[in-house]
Amino acid sequence: MKRYFYIGIAVIMVLALCMVGYGAWLNYSDENQISRRMDNRILQLSAAKVAYRDIHPSVELPAVRFSSESMTDAVALTDGRIIAWNVEKNKQVHKGDILLSMANEQIPLKIQQANSAVSRAEALLAQAYSAYQRQGRLIAKNATSQEKYEEAQSQYLAAKEALQEAESQRNQFYVQEGWLNVKAPVDGELLLIYHQAGAYVQAGTPLALVGNFDRLSFSVNLSDSEIHHLDIGDSAYLKFPAHWSMSKAYDTDYGPGNKGGDSEIICVLKGIVPPLSEPAKIRRTEWTVDNRIRLLEPLTYTGVTMYTGRAHHCLTVPLEAMVDLSHDKVYVVDEDGIAHFRTVKCGSDDGRYIEVLDGLSEGDIVLVGSFEGITDGTRVDINLQGGE
């Protein structure tokens, strides 16, 4: 009896081992089959050739601060009360134009006193000169002493100096009288009036802001790869967002040719620091802006796009070929249809194509669009863009 029992247990164990082995074989077979299918799969993807193209490189500027070289305050040079403004706000003025007139009751009185002092000094000088001349004639005849002659000479010279001092003092008061007419410091527009007629102001008080916004300037830091193709004097265009508000801080008038938020402003490259002849990763660029349409004011604007006016002929790939936001990795397809991950160095772009500085050659084929499921070594079936 025990014999049949042990035989049954042995049979059950053999059957169990067979089932476990069969299951392991099925699992291994399925994994190998899946692996072979993955190795043999061919993905249908878009691709493009690396080629030389003309692009107009653009740069997104998060914030641009414009400034005016001809913008300054008209300042009171003496104390006084504003009588009247001669120029209205937003009117054009030239350097030296009288903006406003002031009054100071003390200055005419001081001028009158200075005139009296000058008259007295002139009378004393005349007397001293007459005495000096008389002593000169007498000493020529040996009718007076050398001491009296020198004394008359000293009195004459002192009287002459006293007259010059009195005239200088009077001239200072005349200058102060002229300061009562406050003049425009530069050519431009009367942008802001700080004090109205009737206000009493002290010397050094700003009275009005005068500025010329026909020419503005700004500076921006750019990477060497973004500006290596630029030269001093090159022109570029500034494009402002369509939603940009056209409100103005200084309430200046708009110029002819203004299209509002759709206007493109011309800027000219005036300087690069350090110059392109010196190695640097980041350079400060200085630009001037033709603002005769009066779209801009010396303020900070956001969301500005700058693109060059002169086309740049360079080796390029579509921006869609860039795998990541750093723009330094692509998938290159070899002659066997295998995709290979490659690190590249890129420069500026125009929003569609990006310049290739290193890592690719003309005629290379790169994948574009979606890279989902792509790894190094994946076999692909490509469809070249544009029938290239």
Q: What does the alpha-carbon distance between residue 348 and residue 57 come to, in Å, rounded to a whole number?
A: 6
**Which two tokens mark 212?**
């010329």
Options 2.40.30.170, 3.40.50.850, 2.60.40.3880, 3.30.160.270; CATH for 59-68+216-310 is 2.40.30.170
Name residue, tokens 């406003």: 100
pLDDT given at position 274: 94
Instruction: Report how far residue 219's alpha carbon sits from residue 339's, in angstroms, rounded to the nearest whole number.
Output: 43
Q: How confident is the model at residue 343 (pLDDT cuts 50, 70, 90)?
A: very high
Is there a common fold for 43-55+313-387 and 59-68+216-310? Answer: no
Helix axis angle, 106-140 to 146-179, nearest 10°: 160
Which residue type is seen at 37?
R
Higher local confidence (pLDDT), 21 or 334:
334
Q: Give the CATH number of domain 43-55+313-387.
A: 2.40.420.20
| Four-point Cα dihedral 367, 369, 370, 374, nearest 10 | 0
* 175-216 residue pLDDT tens: 999 999 999 999 999 999 999 999 999 999 999 999 998 899
Q: Where are the domains of the chain?
A: 43-55+313-387, 59-68+216-310, 77-188
Contacts 24+ apart (CB under 8 A), 84-90: 84/197, 85/193, 85/196, 85/197, 87/184, 87/190, 88/190, 89/190, 89/191, 89/192, 89/193, 89/251, 90/189, 90/190, 90/191, 90/251, 90/252, 90/253
**Residue scoring higher pLDDT (320 or 15):** 320
Cβ–Cβ < 8 Å for 176, 141:
no
pLDDT digit string, tens, across residues 240-254: 887 665 567 787 777
Pairing, β 380-384 against β 43-49: parallel
Q: What is this structure's pTM?
A: 0.65
Over the chain, what is the mean pLDDT? 87
10 Å Cβ neighbour count for 93? 22
Measured distance CA(336)–CA(289) in Å, rounded: 53
Match domain 77-188 to its CATH number in 1.10.287, 3.90.320, 1.10.1740, 3.40.50: 1.10.287
